[in-house]
Structure 1
Amino acid sequence: MFTRDELIAAAGTKPIDGMILPMRFAGGAIDSRQLTRGELFVALAGQHTDGQCFIGDAVRAGASAILCSQPSEAASSAGVPQVIVPNPLEVLQRLAQQHLHRQKSTRVIAITGSNGKTSVKEATAWLLQSIAPTLKTLGNLNTETGVPLSLLRLNPEHRFAVLEMGAQWVGEISRLCRIAPPDIAVVTVVGHEHLEYFGSFENVALAEFEAVASLPTDGIAILNDDDRYVRKMIKRTKARVVTYGRRPAALVRAQRVAADPRTGLCYRFTLSFGGQYARVILNVPGVHAVTTALAAASVALNCGAGVQAVAAGLGEIRPAKRRGEIKRGINETILVDDSYNANRESAEAAIRMLRSAHVSPGARRWFIFGDMLELGKYSPEEHAQVGLSAAGAVDELVLVGAEVRATASAAVEAGMPAEHVHLFPAQLSEANELACARIEAAAYTRDNLRPGDLLLVKGSLGTGMDAIVGELQEKRAGHRLQTDITTRLQQLTQAETALEAGASSKRRRKPAASEAGPDGRSGNQASYSVDVAMKARFPL
């Protein structure tokens, strides 16, 4: 919540036409569809659209004022005050910066890293809220607009602000830290993310260090001791360093790490800090959840929480939405929804989780994987690495997209039987083609499941792998509307018609190690036959 005076001070001007602003604002929004009554609507010019065009929608949604670059008739006719400035984004960032600066008692915790930021942010906020009121980033609003919008929800009672900070280029996190100077900075891992924009892995490492570099000398750098690139940051900061991990040198350490004896999905460990110990039983799947828990624990332990309280709190945490959620699948299967996003490291972590999980005799492990985006020239190699990891670790590999051709080829070349690699190719730029591929992948998987099978769905956000989760998740009949069923039947019918019309086309053929080498390019060996899934559903 922020005030009228704060907005006027940040903008350096008053509303046009002599209109009077409300005394207080509930928050801010840059998307008229997400705006709630009483908020400030900030009209920003984006890459594909301009917020100025949606001021009318914002007014109808209950915006109490508009921050924009030119007057809007829709706002004027409705009597909604408008603050006109040359650059609304700069004013938004300045407003958030000044709003935070006025709250001297709030400690800012910046969460950065290539993987696990949102999970660490959620776990950290969960632990800190037991100490004092805590603000956290909603969803993954971790950008030049998301961080300021999060800060506009900051209230005087908040003692902690847990802010996720993301980046696609060097200098972006430094900019975010100028808006929200951190008192504590957490770095999860340095991995192969957004390489299309960063240009190199070395630039990723530079970017992830920026939050640590922004710390004051009395700040705290919380660093993953198990990641060798993060460890290098220890010698480069003047802030106090707290390391976490499984190595003996870590200050906050996980010992006696073991998988749940029943499922092998979730883990338990002994939390060690300062000569104190407590047993932790996690309810988030994957051994990487141990690292997430340690990062959050490191923050809480250095903000006044006790070891026993932290251990109990960690046991209460559940997965964030679409980030490792365990769901009941159809046909008595177990479904892990990790469909929110993906890069190579997180995909390999998911495969490790599948490999270590316990399944009943005769049951299989399915990895259902969509394209990883924003990798540029590194894409073939990154996708191929996932295929190498999958070979020997999973029983069925279902792939959706274009870049995953390299995954399929690498998996087969590494020894995975071709009949267990199922590619449903589609270009991301072709929305209908991609939707059809997802439906086909879900249909094949659904038709070939056995009771007790374990499935994990993963892919970059843009591939829409959550649609496949929706098809494979068990739904009670009373919870599925007839309109939902009708829509799904229509979609499947359209997919079948399209497939029958082009069953011999290149898109409907299953890729072979022969068709695509490790880099995803065409090879010269004998080709695969049409996918067995397609044969089963649509006999030629």
Structure 2
Amino acid sequence: MLTLICLTIISAATILFFTRRGLRYLRYFQQEEYNGTRFKAWFLEKRTFDTKGTLIALIAAALSLFATGGDMFVCVAICAGAAATLVFLGFQEEDPRKVGKIKLNMTDRATAIYNLALALYSIATLLIVTGTYFLGAGDSIYIYWFIAIALIQSSPIWIVIANAMLWPNEYKKQQAFRQEAKDILADYQPYTIGITGSYGKTSTKAILGSILEAIEPTFWTPGSINTEMGITRQIREQLKPQQQIAIIEMGAYQIGSIAKLCRFTPPKAGLVTAVGVMHLERFGGAENIYKAKCELAQAIPTDGLLVCNGDNPGARKMAEEYPKATTLLYGLEPELGHLDCWMSDIQAGMDGTTFNIHWQGKEYPGFTKLLGAPMLSNLVGSFTMACALGKDPDYVIAAIHNLEPANNRLNLRKNGDGFILDDSYNSNPIGFASALEVLEALEGGRKILMTPGMVELGEIQAAENRQVALKAASICDLALVIGDTNKDALKAGLLEGGLAPDKLMEFADRDLALAYLTSPEHRQPKDTILIENDLPDLYEAISRF
């Protein structure tokens, strides 16, 4: 009887511990878009094995093993104490639904995965524990604690298993939603513009959408939504009959991703911002990235419209290989080759940027609140596309004047008597270097860099981070390196570039760095802080499990 009480306590504690631990793993699984392979890679790379629960169970096993004379009353007391500690520690952990840069979103799918994983885990716990008892473990309570350790360590596996079991039904639901969205597109028949690129596509979509919306009703997906199901949901819920232009951001997660999106939302026009090294790790090589991005150009009909960034070799090459009835090149550097539309006389200040745009033999002076060469390139690309669609260039220039900088995309905001230059949305070698140039041009006191560096650059990641840190050292008075992901490369570049060691600081996460910079004892008048990139929880230092 006392043995059964111990088994009940151990099983209940293990299951209750999973109710919180499962949520924490589900958060990262969701951030990996429910992809079991990528989740496994994250788990092994970050070594997010359980330590807390395992330690408690090991102590309980040892105490049970050496309990005086195998006294079962002592074993019950040990089990009760260990179980209470295990459950207490579990529920003292952060709740991923409330804490984190990207909180766990308990969508219908996430809820279903969690509930099934909990059910499977509970059944497995009860079956294994009772099975071990009937197979002859008897009063050897320490054995059951070792079983509890194995079960606790298996927590992420049950999340993946639950997702795999639910996938057939999830796939049917997705197909039904997708067909509904396709039917809406067939009924409304908007002029569809696809936008892709290794970087800049989200900003360009927002700029082009805002420009066209000022002239006629226009649909575009919000934020960085660029996957089939994200686009599906927006079409089903937001596309209106009067919106005769639809701008679709097309993300590439592997070769074939964009082709699939083009079959779903067939483009009549396309805009390619760049072909670069972003996501090199995911694709395995620059040539594969180029092939993936070319899928948009290939899908546009021969009588369609293709607009490409002529400053970018990959995008220029794409325009040459897949020409359409109208193929246009835009950029900021006409000296690199022919451009149909380009920007000159660029003057940046604290309020924004003045410029001249050259288009079809005319010059259009303008102003924008946007800063930095990448954003100006996105603006020229949007101008080119809008004018190619027949919009009056003067109207387009007026719309550009009213554009508001997107949050976290190199937007400048007051911070007391200083400024924050927020470029935390993401980062790439060209964008990082440009952000540093903007920082250098701004007036004020100290110039401070806060960054975790750049990710998803594969084998060149360390070299690229070191190289941009060399540039930062010649501009910044203080550098704050966040997390461990690129710490060594950034520190090497900053120190090699001449930054004094006492001006280089390390912080585990963004919040600690911001707290340091905003504290009265460390803040100085007119500081300008560049926040370059902000890695999601997957990359930043992982809290222990």
Same fold, TM exceeding 0.5?
yes
Aligned partners of 2:456 and 2:219: how far apart in 1?
A: 30
Question: Could you tell me which residue of structure 1 aligns to residue 264 of structure 2?
Answer: 179
The structure where helix makes up a greater share of residues is: 2
Give the counterpart of 1:214 among 299, 307, 311: 299
Question: Could you tell me which residue of structure 1 aligns to residue 496 of structure 2?
Answer: 413
| Equivalent residues in 2 for 1:75-474, closer than 5 Å | 87-104=172-189, 106-152=190-236, 153-239=238-324, 240-248=326-334, 249-260=338-349, 263=350, 266-330=352-416, 332-357=417-442, 359-360=443-444, 363-402=445-484, 403-424=486-507, 426=508, 434=509, 438-440=511-513, 442-444=515-517, 446=519, 447-462=521-536
Q: Structure 1 residues 253, 343: closer, same or farther in 2, change over 3 A?
A: closer
Matched AA of 1:300? A
CA contact (8 A) 2:310 2:330 kept: yes
CA contact (8 A) 1:182 1:214 kept: yes
Question: Could you tell me which residue of structure 2 aligns to residue 54 of structure 1?
Answer: 111
CA contact (8 A) 1:276 1:307 kept: no
1:367-423 per-position Cα deviation (integer Å, ceiling 9, x unaligned): 111243333433322321221221212222111011232111112112222222212
Q: Structure 1 residues 219, 334: closer, same or farther in 2, change over 3 A?
A: same
SS at match of 2:301: coil
SS at match of 2:282: helix
CA contact (8 A) 2:473 2:497 kept: yes
Aligned partners of 1:96 and 1:255: how far apart in 2?
A: 42
Rg larger in structure: 2
Question: Could you tell me which residue of structure 2 aligns to residue 22 of structure 1?
Answer: none
Q: Give the ranges of 4+ consecutive aligned residues of structure 1 lying more than 4 Å apart after TM superposition.
A: 44-50, 83-86, 463-466
1:302-325 per-position Cα deviation (integer Å, ceiling 9, x unaligned): 122111111111111111122122
Aligned partners of 2:107 and 2:393: how far apart in 1?
A: 49
1:220-271 per-position Cα deviation (integer Å, ceiling 9, x unaligned): 11111111221111211131211111344211121222223xx3x7321111
TM-score of the two chains, using structure 1 as the length reference: 0.66
1:166-204 per-position Cα deviation (integer Å, ceiling 9, x unaligned): 122222111111111111111112222112211122222
CA contact (8 A) 1:373 1:462 kept: no
1:470-512 per-position Cα deviation (integer Å, ceiling 9, x unaligned): xxxxxxxxxxxxxxxxxxxxxxxxx9xxxxxxxxxxxxxxxxx
CA contact (8 A) 1:266 1:283 kept: yes
SS at match of 2:529: strand
SS at match of 2:466: helix
CA contact (8 A) 1:108 1:183 kept: yes
Give the C-alpha shift of residue 463 in structure 1. 5.4
Structure 1 stretches of 5 or more lacking a match?
Answer: 1-43, 58-68, 73-82, 427-433, 467-494, 496-540
1:253-312 per-position Cα deviation (integer Å, ceiling 9, x unaligned): 21222223xx3x732111121122221111012232221110111111012211111111
Aligned partners of 1:198 and 1:314: how far apart in 2?
A: 35
Matched AA of 2:234? S
Aligned partners of 2:218 and 2:112: how far apart in 1?
A: 32
CA contact (8 A) 1:192 1:345 kept: no
CA contact (8 A) 2:482 2:513 kept: no
Q: Structure 1 residues 252, 86: closer, same or farther in 2, change over 3 A?
A: closer
CA contact (8 A) 1:400 1:438 kept: no
Matched AA of 1:207? A
CA contact (8 A) 2:192 2:248 kept: yes
Aligned partners of 1:296 and 1:213: how far apart in 2?
A: 21
Structure 2 stretches of 5 or more lacking a match?
Answer: 1-32, 40-105, 115-162
SS at match of 1:457: strand
Question: Could you tell me which residue of structure 1 aligns to residue 129 of structure 2?
Answer: none
Matched AA of 2:339? A
Question: Could you tell me which residue of structure 1 aligns to residue 123 of structure 2?
Answer: none
Give the C-alpha shift of residue 46 in structure 1. 6.3
TM-score of the two chains, using structure 2 as the length reference: 0.65
CA contact (8 A) 2:343 2:358 kept: yes
CA contact (8 A) 2:254 2:282 kept: yes
Give the C-alpha shift of residue 86 in structure 1. 5.6
Question: Could you tell me which residue of structure 1 aligns to residue 118 of structure 2?
Answer: none
Matched AA of 1:373? V
Give the C-alpha shift of residue 92 in structure 1. 2.8
Aligned partners of 1:128 and 1:86: how far apart in 2?
A: 35
SS at match of 1:229: helix
CA contact (8 A) 2:191 2:245 kept: yes
Aligned partners of 2:494 and 2:230: how far apart in 1?
A: 38
SS at match of 1:135: strand
CA RMSD of aligned residues (A): 3.1
Q: Structure 1 residues 255, 377: closer, same or farther in 2, change over 3 A?
A: closer
Aligned partners of 1:457 and 1:121: how far apart in 2?
A: 23
Aligned partners of 1:54 and 1:187: how far apart in 2?
A: 37
Q: Structure 1 residues 333, 237: closer, same or farther in 2, change over 3 A?
A: same
CA contact (8 A) 1:326 1:334 kept: yes
SS at match of 2:293: helix
CA contact (8 A) 1:365 1:454 kept: yes
Aligned partners of 1:444 and 1:326: how far apart in 2?
A: 17
Question: Could you tell me which residue of structure 2 aligns to residue 478 of structure 1?
Answer: none
Aligned partners of 1:455 and 1:279: how far apart in 2?
A: 30
Give the C-alpha shift of residue 440 in structure 1. 4.3
Q: Structure 1 residues 45, 463: closer, same or farther in 2, change over 3 A?
A: closer
SS at match of 1:320: coil
The structure where strand makes up a greater share of residues is: 1
Aligned partners of 2:434 and 2:298: how far apart in 1?
A: 28
Give the C-alpha shift of residue 53 in structure 1. 5.8
SS at match of 2:370: strand
Give the aligned length.
386
